[in-house]
Amino acid sequence: MLRPLSCFVLLCLAGFQSAPPANRFALLIAIGNYPARSGAEPIHATNDSRLMSQLLVKQGFDIKNSRVLADAQATRRGIVQAFDSLARCLPVGSRVVIHFSGHGLQLADDNHDEADGLDEAILPYDGQANQPATLIRDDELGRWLGRLRLRLGPAGHLLLLFDSCHSGSILRNKPGQQVGRGVAMQLSRSAVEAPAGTSGWFETATSPSAETKLGRYVLLAATTDGQSSFECTDAGGKAYGPLTLAACQAWSAMPNPGSYRAFFGAVQQQMSRLAPYQLPTLEGNADAPFLGY
């Protein structure tokens, strides 16, 4: 068991500090400039994290309670440590936003728990697409997210945004084409909205009775299952992931959306303009009050 002082020290070392009254925390992971050996093309992930950081501050998130892992900081070890530190020291009932901007892929299911025989994985900075052990699979990520929800308790809220696509391999942008984001997302196999606990990222879902002890969560992704995601530009020509830009524009226009479903509807409207060829997806407690407000 961690003593209070040990927990405080760990929290500070990890980049998180004592929560303000609203207990709002954020973890932003942005990997745009992978090493050549990764097999991933560059994307404008840093633009995403900067835009999201600015928005969160405007929405009352204390910058001291927000951590950004950018490029070389977002190694597999760095991501693991960030999730671990956050899970250890989150106050019960906190509101947490986790944003991922980077690449990913699908690979053969290694424990026969996927109906389609494929695992989804995100590609950390030091990962290699052809080396499964260097990736972060959905099973592992699902356990981390479950741990966060348990720490948060039923009064807590967890909002996740994955600005990436669901594809069988890392997309390569060709001359004259838009920049592709090759992250495998398996949120819903038939619709843009899925029940809580049905995505690959939360496949360790608990029983209904145990679910009542966990924090509320909503997971938004840039595409439906099988779609590719491509970057878009704002009015000034700056490149972003479409989900990030759409979510920030929607949240800025309606600071208190009421429910996650209402927020998702606003994101869909923005996405239809920014990336009409993509359908964002939602999973989780859609009718819960947005971040508990």
Q: How many CB atoms lie within 10 A of CB 256?
A: 12
Q: Mean pLDDT, to the nearest integer, of 62-88?
A: 96
- Is the pLDDT confidence value at 7 over 80? no
- Is the pLDDT confidence value at 81 over 80? yes
pLDDT digits (tens, 9 = 90+) for 221-272: 887 656 677 889 999 999 999 999 999 999 999 989 999 999 999 999 999 9
pLDDT at 223: 78
Distance from chain centroid for Cα 225: 16
pLDDT digits (tens, 9 = 90+) for 154-165: 999 999 999 875
Q: How far apart are CA 163 and CA 13, in angstroms?
A: 28
Domain boundaries, the chain: 10-292
State pTM to two decimals.
0.82
pLDDT at 111: 57
pLDDT at 165: 57
pLDDT at 229: 76
pLDDT at 202: 55
Strands in 168-254 per DSSP E? 180-181, 193-194, 216-221, 229-230, 232-233, 239-240
Q: How far apart are CA 139 and CA 141, in angstroms?
A: 6
Q: What is the mean pLDDT of the chain?
A: 80
Nearest partner of 98 among 225, 244, 271, judged by Cα: 244
Give φ, ψ of 116 to 5 degrees. -95, 5
Q: Mean pLDDT, to the nearest integer, of 41-55?
A: 96
- Is the pLDDT confidence value at 189 over 80? no
- Is the pLDDT confidence value at 147 over 60? yes
Q: Fold for domain 10-292?
A: Rossmann fold (3.40.50)
Which string of b and e fits 183-205 if b means at least 16 CB within 10 Å?
A: bbbbbbeeebebebbbbbbbbeb
Residue with more model confidence, 127 or 17: 127
In this prediction, residue 19 has a pLDDT band, given cuts at 50, 70 and 90, of very low
In this prediction, residue 83 has a pLDDT band, given cuts at 50, 70 and 90, of very high
Residues 177, 232, 31, 8, Cα dihedral to 10°: -170
In this prediction, residue 191 has a pLDDT band, given cuts at 50, 70 and 90, of very low
Q: How far apart are CA 133 and CA 179, in angstroms?
A: 26
Annotated catalytic residues are 103, 165
> Worst-scoring range by mean pLDDT, 1-10, 66-75, 140-149?
1-10
Nearest partner of 123 among 135, 141, 115, judged by Cα: 135
If phi over 0 gives left and psi between -120 and 50 gives alpha, with beta otherwise, what is residue 205? beta
pLDDT digits (tens, 9 = 90+) for 164-184: 754 322 332 333 345 545 533
Q: Which amino acid is at 243?
A: L
